A and B are shown apart, each in its own frame.
Chain A
Amino acid sequence: MNLYLALMRRELGSYFASLIGYVIIGMSLFLIGVSFSNLLGLLNTRPTDVPASELFFKSWYFWLILLLTTPLLTMRSYALEKSTGTFETLTTTPVGEWEIVLAKFSSAMVVHMLIWLPPMLCLLGVRWYASDIAGVGEGTVASTFLGIVLVGAFYLAMGCFASSLTSSQSIAAMLSFAMGAGMFLLSYWVLYAPDQLGTLAPVLSRYSLIEHMQDFARGVLDTRHLVFYASLILLFLYLTRKVLESRRWK
């Protein structure tokens, strides 16, 4: 536990000591801000019966920002250490592989949450101005945030895995972007063109991230979604651990 905390502190420090954390958070908040004001403008032109959170998180904006930021957050985690050689000093200390994997993953999670916390506060802020606050209830906003955390955690776990495979940051970023975009496009396909998928459609619809996010943004907490994300996150963390361990296979 102590080792984990020491590692986590350094990992988190590395985001902010090298500016990359500020840049990613700053740029994301800028994009989120633009999209938020755009959607609020839309709300002013015509009435809608969907919650504001759903309006926002079913939009292209959310997915675009998510797809772009997560590879940037995780591309450095192992690739940079491998290319500079610090991976060698790290793994020759008495630290277990799980501690390394969890510390890297959770520090990326902290930055991810720092990115998405302000828009949540904005959603709550809308309550001050809205005549009808049914669309922005606390519960809805909380479950939306949970959805963002879970989808983000899944993407970051994939990113960590991609980064553990290579010593090049750009390959790591490209790999995790391809996996993330692949998952997103699959969801998009299931949602808007299920006919093309034929008999596979009902199976693949279980993997539709957009549909999951829609539920979270409506304030629906479905245990199936929780299990889905928890198992995928664990799977990728486990794979990352295996990759680290493979260095010591004979």
Chain B
Amino acid sequence: MPFDFASPAGRRAWRAQLLAPIDEAKWERLTRELFAWQFARMPAYRRICEAHSVTPKNLGSWREIPAGPQQLFKREKLFAHSSARPGAIYETSGTTTGEPGRQHLLFPDIYRDVSVEGARRAGLFQRHVQFHFLTPSPAEAPRSSLSAMFGFWPKAAKQSGNRFWIKRGKFDLPRLRGVLAEQVKKGQAVAICGTAYSFVHLLDAWADLPLALPPGSWLLETGGFKGRSREISQIELYAELSRTFAVGRDAIWNEYGMTELSSQAYARGVGGRHQTPPWARVLICDPVSGKEVPPDRRGIVRWIDLANVDSVLAVQTLDLAERKADGFRLLGRMARTEPRGCSLGIEDLLSVK
């Protein structure tokens, strides 16, 4: 019997399927099911599939499922429950284009569960830590999927005393420093999580004030720079973080996710391999053929995310990566910079408005 993605019971059943072991046959079955369901309910997605001459009826393998471009989330409401009111809407920052992409979720239940379980399975919740988030809280930024995810974590990891350190648009560095210093004194391991540019901001402020974190502490950065703050390479960022907080580079994680998806991939250390949870896969594709590239070759990242039930399970990004036997190596999140030179591009258009 097909899943009913609109009912709480149906969603619970789907969630249970995702969190249970997934072998190849089950993966194929679940991807087909979700693809057919979304194909039937989202005209915009259906049009893309038809342009690629792929329908649920003629689908050969899950690898052939056409992906919705990330950019389309900025132009069209990709929501599989057209008559229902979304229970959560998350928006991209729109930093680079001025047009936010929107992810509409019927309920945030599946997102909550997979973002917690994905982090747990990646190994983030193995030890008792006090969380510090360099973002606004979910209450302050209800449209931020990152804040929402960070909000889910402490409860799931059975931690208390977590804090969000961006309040009313201001980074409360002095208080963060005070709380961290207290925890360091007590030998309490901490986890500091934030966007790469928030870490750069923090490093700039604490350049001459290293703070050795207790053993078991870790850092998690995400999101790239998107033209904010000063831009530094991952190698430099990790070296500076390692120096400032006296943590090994293996204690620095990168979270690779996006508002348009429900699942995330994680990597440790500089140039670490990203790995997805079992209910999501990443294909590194040749944009010309649309096919997966051979191992050790570069391509663009295409996500197949079985937790993304309310919008599109397959999302095509413009992020560059190298396919590896044990995952993929993210080479760069392609900003929406248009060709530099004299031709006016999207970024400039923003400044014109």
Q: Do A and B bind each other?
A: no
Q: Which residues of A contact B (CB under 8 A)?
A: none
Q: Which residues of B contact A (CB under 8 A)?
A: none
